[in-house]
Amino acid sequence: MTTGVVLNGNDSDNQIDATVRLAHEASEAGLRSAWFGQTVGVDSPQLAAIVGREVPGLQVGTSAIPVFGRHPLLVSSQAQTAQAATHGRYHLGLALGTKHLTETGFGIPFERPIARLREFLTALRQLTETGHADFHGELLTATTALPARVPGAEAGVPLLVAAMGPQALRASGELADGILPYLAGPRALAEHIVPAVTAAAEAAGRPAPRIVALVSGVVTDDAHAVREKATERLAFYEQIPSYARVIELSGGRRAADVAVIGDEARVAAEVQRYRDAGATEVVFSGTEIAGDRDRRRTWDLLGSLAG
């Protein structure tokens, strides 16, 4: 089973340099993948390309780029460039985003998100697999007067979606290679998420989807204090309906209720629960909240579980 981490070098003088240093540490700990969130700051595909060049042992991925405010032609260019730079080790994660951030940040209406996701994935796969597109949808048009293939990029960048709701899971199973659920505990995965996306993939004649479970967690001896920090940090997600729903389906009330916090034995047992629930890969985020010592403990444990 692959294990990985979300790298966060935000609190530094140079985010790129700090992230590369963290990536070297993660690789040395035995971790197999590093993932990068997309904000309005650093460009995550560029960051993934840089890290992938600097740390050849790591798979690198974006988790995740919202489809609102982007176009498949531009995202394909970013993804193929990152894949060529890393010699096939880049994985592209997409997301619907949120109504609030879409409408306040981009000034565009958050309308028909599932339809937009379907059209985006359809056009994007044409571009990444063939270097050409001739797509005319209701919401998007993507055509190529010139080839859009990046030399050195393998055909078919892996496409993953941060999907957790029924409609998004259906679209992802039919059109993507897997999903990136976050704050979805083992119960939600086993009972709702994995069956839905797997059934959609089977019905579409596609291979079994990858389930890259993004888990907020850390190894620590001070679980109470770290959980308090996690409660404060993760409270934002409780205001977003899709996250609130999946937290409830996981048996939690607050987002921090599904965080994995404790000593090595407890965290290892929880990682196994995710695997039993259908996760093909487990990626930890938020490991920095407990400090460098506990972050390293967390990474060492996850590295030992990578095989």
Instruction: Give me the tens of pLDDT residue by residue for the chain, a chain 307 residues long.
Output: 589 999 988 888 999 999 999 999 999 999 999 999 988 889 999 999 999 999 998 999 999 999 999 999 999 999 999 999 999 999 999 999 988 889 999 999 999 999 999 999 999 999 999 999 999 999 999 999 998 999 998 778 999 999 999 999 999 999 999 999 999 999 999 999 999 999 999 999 999 999 999 999 999 999 999 999 999 999 999 999 999 999 999 999 999 999 999 999 999 999 999 999 999 999 999 998 989 999 999 999 999 998 6
Same domain, 187 and 257: yes
Q: How many residues comprise the chain?
A: 307
Same domain, 206 and 147: no
Same domain, 123 and 204: no
Domain boundary among 101, 134, 161: 161
Calculate the alpha carbon distances from 97 to 45, 70, 150, 167, 211 in Å: 17, 11, 27, 15, 19
Same domain, 227 and 133: no
Q: Which residues on adjacent β-strands are paired with residue 93?
A: 160
172 within some domain: no
306 within some domain: yes
CATH of the domain at 75: 3.20.20.30
Same domain, 71 and 117: yes
Same domain, 152 and 28: yes
Domain boundary among 115, 130, 161: 161
167 within some domain: no
Domains: count for the chain? 2
Structural domain boundaries enclosing 48: 1-161
Same domain, 186 and 298: yes
Same domain, 92 and 219: no
DSSP string, 18-59: HHHHHHHHHHHTT--EEEE---SSS-HHHHHHHHHHH-TT-E
pLDDT (tens digit, 9 = 90+) per residue, 244-268? 999 999 999 999 999 999 999 999 9
Q: Which residue has the tokens 């056009």?
A: 123
Same domain, 5 and 144: yes
Decide if 172 contacts 196 (C-beta within 8 A): no
Q: Tell me the pTM.
A: 0.95
173 within some domain: no
